[in-house]
Amino acid sequence: MSVAHGLMRATCTASVTTKMALRDVFVKSLEITSLESRTRSGLAIDLSQSHGQMPAMHYLMKPTLIGAVAAGLLAASSCSDSSLEPRTAAVCNVLAIDNQIWLLRDPATVAMKFHKMQRNWYTWLRGTAVLYWSDATSASPWNMPTKFGNAAAAATRVIGDPHVENLGTFRAADGTMFVDWNDFDASGFAPYWVDVRRLALSVVVAVTPDEAALDVAFTRAISNAVATGYATQLQTLAGGDRSWFVTTGSDPLLDKLIDKAKRDGDAARRLEEVAPIVDGVRRMAFGEVEPPGSDGVIEDELVGVGVEAAASLPAVVAAWRTTVQPELNASAATIKGVRRRLGAGVSSYPALRYYVLLEGATASLDDDLLIEVRESRDGIAVVTPATLPSFGWNSNGERVATAQRQAQGELAGDPMLGWAALGPQSYRVVSRTGYQRGLNFDDVAVAAKGTDGRAAVLQLATTMGRLLARAHGQSLTASGAVGATVIAPLLRGREMEFADEVAAFVAAYAPRSRQDYRDAVELDLMQCTTGSFGVTQ
């Protein structure tokens, strides 16, 4: 089956064929070849010492594949009725623009991303940050004005996509375990209040079953908790107190997360899972770390990398070393193995992600390092780049890493945090250990059941509001001012009014977001987005 034919099947018949066919098309299009291997609980261990290099280049497609992809997109445009309701057409257009590079480079992973987004309302929200910002800042009913802004505050350095599963654990250099934001891919300069509103919305979506009616009182209580936590923490920061961190004892739900991460980290779980010691040598695994979902979407899988990627990663690692604080010397971090990781994230699902195994400070296997090199793309920039002063970053990877450093402040959670750029491609680099564990929205949804559980969710919402305030308040705005000095005066003495404004937005926008999700479940998103490119016969 040709790649174009495979894409035709993926886009035209996904609704009537088993969704596992998506994975079949995906694997064939990548031209994955076998490696000499030894199986281990669903994973295989590379014994070839080739760092997983594969003879066929994939993900960064060969010109012949790009032509086939174009043919597949052309065929997809004629698969079904092109008439859509105006809102649905607008949603498809935003998704097309947001994913356009990936649709051309790697459409099979975009198809999986779209299926992942269709699983539930929460994953839909995660995958549609650009749609949210478009609605909230353009000429639409959801661009609701604020009484708590000015020009400087409208250019706050925002997270861009603050949501429940964007929280995770870190381990500081002194061993302190703490929770903070762990994904700054969408960071940029925009109105702080739109970031706060998205955070409140995400908590509401996380605790609301797909088919259940919105609980008006609980929705308002959650929104108020996020907003008052945010406003209160801004005043604390403006007063010069930056001592608050989310460590053990700060929040019951997050205490459980910290405990699990501490156990995993002490056991070096991620390193042993991805690169176990076999016959006295640490070797990188490949295959399924977790089985695919029932919809055929890859959850966590390690595969080999193409020839070009394998050749370029040493230069990427060399560039990254110079951005780590303190800088790693040239002899440190020799590459021992490389894998492409598939299945992580929602919005960034199709992004290039590489796990790179590095030699540690000594020849001992105990201090080997595992880093993730992940493709970075443009973030949220409601304030256009042309109006911004020079902040010294030259790539999206640098933008993402510096945003994390500013937001986390003194308690840095990742000594390996850095970036690299190679040609037009930009990467953010982080360490990967068992000490890093993300919050799962399912755990929050379960906690919301019952009166006591709701109290725990409201406490979590308050904590998340405070963490967002900490990120905004410690970062520099587009004018170069410390965020807290710009935002805090706007909220001082008006915290409850601000909370009411946030709650009003969430009450108005949540039904729109849910209806978008319900409409999307009935759509072939690959067909509607490729049609949005204006491809016609």
Q: Where are the domains of the chain?
A: 3-122+524-532, 147-243+438-492, 268-431
pLDDT of residue 332: 67
Q: Is 188 helix (H, G, I), strand (E, B) or coil?
A: strand
Q: Are 429 and 371 in contact (CB under 8 A)?
A: yes
- Consecutive H or E run containing 15: none
Residue numbers in the chain where pLDDT is lower than 70 = 1-83, 329-332, 381-392, 411, 532-537
C-alpha to C-alpha distance for 62 and 56, rounded to whole angstroms: 9
C-alpha to C-alpha distance for 285 and 489, rounded to whole angstroms: 53
Structure pTM? 0.85
CA distance to 83, 160, 302, per residue, from 190 (Å): 34, 8, 36
Q: Which residues of 126-145 are buried (b: 16+ CB within 10 A; e: fewer)?
A: bbbbbbbbbbbbeeeebebe
pLDDT of residue 56: 26
Cis peptide before 385 (omega within 30 of 0): no
Residue bearing tokens 């929460």: 122
